[in-house]
Amino acid sequence: MPTGRQESGNLLHERSPIRSGMTTMIQSALLSSFPSIRHAFTVKDHMLNGIRDELIIPTQTHDDTVVSVFDTNLTVVSDGLLTAISDVPIGVVTADCVPLLLFDPDKHIVGAVHAGWKGTLKHIAYKAVTSMVDLGSSFQSIRAAIGPAIKSCCYDIPPDRTQLFIEKFGTKSVIKSRGINYIDLQKINYQQLLSCGLSDYHIDLIPECTKCNDAYYSYRRGDRDKRMVSYIYLV
Ligand SMILES: [Zn+2]
């Protein structure tokens, strides 16, 4: 199990996303370099570009289950999906939690993961890439894009949750300011991926806070029913 602590010498590749016009449909610069996939982090239904009917979004339970899917029109209960089948779009919904999209260009496997604080504590990012390795991937070939999520500027957590993060990821995972504890779920998931053996050059972190930026949906800002949709598929 990874410790989540960053190895010395690894760089955090925070990169601005690619934006489509004035909309809040953004893409990872890293994943966009691969013509064999389509992906996006979106906030509006109409941005799903004709895949809405086929898109598999699991019933998410803030747990650590990762499921491989082989067909569209499935009902799946999980917080992570994988597929190696072309034209089977998979996605997750979030509003402050971390959307994580995965791709192995060597074995042509994609993944979509919802990592909230509970899933992060249960190492769902680690479990997703390990499941890809079980399907034939190697950690060295997997690419990952960490999408917009609530960041440490806005994500204060109560003492009991603070203790859980310190136990799992060390004191450096918690940022203390004026007696309040904050965490950055994007960076903890990034470090979890590094601990698995992914290259820092293969992880794209889009450093945008969903609560600060009202173009995104944020549960903490009051969006109770609206969710971002992050999807990926092989073409
Ligand atoms: Zn913020």
> What is the model's pLDDT at position 4?
40
pTM for the whole thing?
0.92
> What is the model's pLDDT at position 211?
95
Ligand 1 geometric centre to CA of 95 (Å): 13
Q: Following CA atoms 79, 11, 15, 123 in sequence, which dihedral angle do they give, to the nearest 10 degrees? A: 10
Ligand 1 geometric centre to CA of 220 (Å): 10
Ligand 1 geometric centre to CA of 180 (Å): 15
Mean pLDDT of 206-215: 92
Tell me the Ramachandran region of residue 96: left when phi exceeds 0, alpha when psi lies from -120 to 50, beta otherwise.
left
Q: Following CA atoms 67, 71, 72, 75 in sequence, which dihedral angle do they give, to the nearest 10 degrees? A: -40
Mean pLDDT of 1-16: 57
| Token representation of residue 19 | 């934006």
Ligand 1 geometric centre to CA of 200 (Å): 24
Ligand 1 geometric centre to CA of 184 (Å): 10
Mean pLDDT of 86-115: 97
Question: What is the distance between the alpha carbons of residues 34 and 68, in angstroms, rounded to a whole number?
Answer: 22
Ligand 1 geometric centre to CA of 146 (Å): 16
Ligand 1 geometric centre to CA of 50 (Å): 32
Residue 217 binned pLDDT confidence (cut-offs 50, 70, 90): very high
> What is the model's pLDDT at position 11?
66
Ligand 1 geometric centre to CA of 235 (Å): 35
Mean pLDDT of 72-85: 90
**Torsions phi, psi of 29, nearest 5?**
-60, -35
Answer whether residue 1 shows pLDDT above 70: no
Ligand 1 geometric centre to CA of 191 (Å): 20
Which of 76, 2, 69 shows the shortest CA–CA distance to 233? 69
Ligand 1 geometric centre to CA of 107 (Å): 36
Q: Which residues, in sequence order, are bridge partners of residue 14?
A: 205
Q: Is 200 or 2 the better-scoring residue by pLDDT?
A: 200
In the chain, the percentage of residues whose pLDDT exceeds 70 is: 91
Tell me the domains of the chain and their CATH numbers.
18-152+184-234 (3.60.140.10)
Q: How far from each other are the two terminal CA atoms of the chain, in whole angstroms? A: 33
Question: What is the distance between the alpha carbons of residues 12 and 30, in angstroms, rounded to a whole number?
Answer: 14
Ligand 1 geometric centre to CA of 122 (Å): 24
- On average, the pLDDT of the chain sits at 90
Question: What is the distance between the alpha carbons of residues 63 and 43, in angstroms, rounded to a whole number?
Answer: 23
Ligand 1 geometric centre to CA of 230 (Å): 20
Over the stretch 34-78, which tens digit does the pLDDT of each residue have? Answer: 999 999 998 876 667 778 788 999 999 999 999 999 877 678 999
Ligand 1 geometric centre to CA of 216 (Å): 11
> What is the model's pLDDT at position 13?
74
Residue 6 binned pLDDT confidence (cut-offs 50, 70, 90): very low
Residue whose pair of structure tokens reads 């499935």 in the numeric block: 74
Size of the chain in residues: 235
**Torsions phi, psi of 109, nearest 5?**
-125, 135
Over the stretch 177-205, which tens digit does the pLDDT of each residue have? Answer: 999 999 999 999 999 999 999 999 999 99
Over the stretch 154-180, which tens digit does the pLDDT of each residue have? Answer: 999 999 999 999 999 999 999 999 999
